[in-house]
Amino acid sequence: MLYLIGLGLSYKSDITVRGLEAIKKCSRVYLEHYTSILMAATQEELEEYYGKAVILADRELVETGSADILRNADKEDVAFLVVGDPFGATTHTDLVLRAKREKIPVEVVHNASVMNAVGSCGLQLYTFGQTVSMVFFTENWRPDSWYDKIWENRKIGLHTLVLLDIKVKEQSIENMARGRLIYEPPRYMSISQCCEQLLEIEETKGSKAYTPDTPVVAISRLGSATQSFKVGTIKELSEYDAGEPLHSLIILGRQCHELELEYLLEFTDNKEKFKQDVIADQEYFKPPAWVPSAEEDNDDE
Q: Which residues are annotated as a binding site for S-adenosyl-L-methionine?
A: 9, 85, 88, 113-114, 164, 222, 247
Cα separations in angstroms, 149 against 18, 132, 134, 162, 238: 37, 7, 12, 11, 21
Cβ atoms of 116 and 125 closer than 8 Å: yes
Q: Give one DSSP letter per residue of 235-248, joined into a string.
A: HHHTT----SSPEE
Cβ atoms of 228 and 120 closer than 8 Å: no
Classified as helix, coil or strand, 265 is: helix
What's CA 297's distance to the chain center, in Å?
47
Cα separation of 6 and 76, whole Å?
Answer: 20
Task: Please report, in range form, the residues annotated as the binding site.
Answer: 9, 85, 88, 113-114, 164, 222, 247
Provide the 10 A C-beta neighbour count for residue 32.
Answer: 24
Cα separation of 169 and 184, whole Å?
Answer: 6
Classified as helix, coil or strand, 202 is: helix
Cα separation of 262 and 268, whole Å?
Answer: 11
Phi first, then psi, for residue 161 (nearest 5°) are -85, 125
Identify which of 226, 227, 285 has the alpha carbon closest to the alpha carbon of residue 252.
285
